[in-house]
């Protein structure tokens, strides 16, 4: 990775990663790769919600992350209920307009259940649902996003990428380790000849949506190359866990996010 070359390409531009914490992973990777070659007095970092930004001052470049795990809106009504709006991009889109390079991602949060679920109701048009098949909801949400991009982003000014599905490694049986503990203590990539997990349903839907999108969105298809890296996750080695939790990898090992340096650096190489 040539950081100086990337900075020149970003001169006078804004690069924004949009999505959930796995896309924040990729943003953090890009920031680390560029930060290493910039003197301390020539860079700045602004932390905020929903937007964070790293700036390379001499280059007039801004590398940003915008938190929007569904891309479509989540609103809170008067009763305090969180409503996932499958057909609405309003507030989020204000931040995206005029950005030179956009890297979108959305996947994991659509499949959360029970206490991890981050909505109470789903709304489409004027109709409200208590729940919906997550793949049906995902297709509707991504179609809304694609239509918004086609109607609101200037293809002459902006380039749009969509990063593919970041794989998880919670099932050791997938790589023939029946007695494994999620990705805990994994130190090498999968080396099984012919290893090919099922193609994620969300990736199939995403490709179908992008194929019909009027705007020329580029798919960063990182899923297959990342599937082998069962060794690339933080597991229990994260500051988010206490000592007791670190001793229970079957419940607490993080096999969704990625270590840095690591796999997201390769995504940025693409």
Which residues are tagged catalytic? 21, 254, 257
CA–CA separation, 75 and 79 (whole Å): 11
With CA atoms as reference, report the closest residue to 12 among 53, 64, 55.
55
With CA atoms as reference, report the closest residue to 102 among 27, 22, 210.
27
Alpha helices in the chain (DSSP H): 3-9, 21-35, 91-96, 134-152, 201-211, 223-227, 243-246, 249-252, 263-269
Structure tokens at 204: 């199939």
Q: Please tell me whether residue 12 adopts helix, strand or coil conformation.
A: coil
Structure tokens at 77: 């009504």
């Amino acid at each position: 990775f040539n950081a100086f070359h990337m900075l020149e390409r970003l001169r006078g531009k804004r690069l924004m990663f949009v999505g959930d914490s796995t896309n924040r992973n990729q943003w953090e990777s890009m920031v680390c790769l560029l930060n290493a070659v910039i003197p301390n007095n020539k860079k700045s970092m602004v932390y905020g919600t929903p937007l964070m930004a790293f700036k390379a001052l001499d280059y007039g470049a801004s590398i940003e992350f915008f938190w929007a795990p569904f891309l479509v809106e989540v609103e809170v009504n008067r009763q305090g209920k969180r409503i996932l709006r499958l057909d609405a991009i309003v507030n989020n889109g204000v931040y995206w307009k005029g950005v030179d390079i956009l890297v979108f991602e959305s996947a994991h949060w659509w499949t959360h259940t029970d206490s991890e679920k981050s909505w109470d109701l789903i709304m489409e048009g004027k109709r409200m649902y208590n729940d919906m098949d997550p793949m049906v909801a995902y297709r509707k949400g991504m179609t809304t996003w694609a239509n918004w991009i086609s109607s609101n982003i200037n293809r002459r000014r902006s380039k749009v990428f969509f990063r593919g599905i970041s794989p998880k490694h919670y099932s050791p049986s997938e790589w023939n380790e029946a007695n494994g503990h999620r990705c805990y203590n994994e130190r090498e990539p999968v080396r099984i000849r012919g290893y090919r997990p099922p193609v994620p349903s969300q990736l199939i839907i995403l490709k179908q949506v992008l194929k019909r999108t009027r705007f020329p969105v580029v798919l960063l298809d990182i899923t297959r190359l990342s599937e082998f890296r069962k060794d690339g996750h933080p597991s229990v080695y994260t500051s988010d866990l206490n000592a007791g939790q670190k001793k229970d990898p079957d419940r607490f090992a993080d096999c969704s996010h990625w270590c840095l340096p690591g796999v997201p650096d390769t995504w940025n190489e693409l």
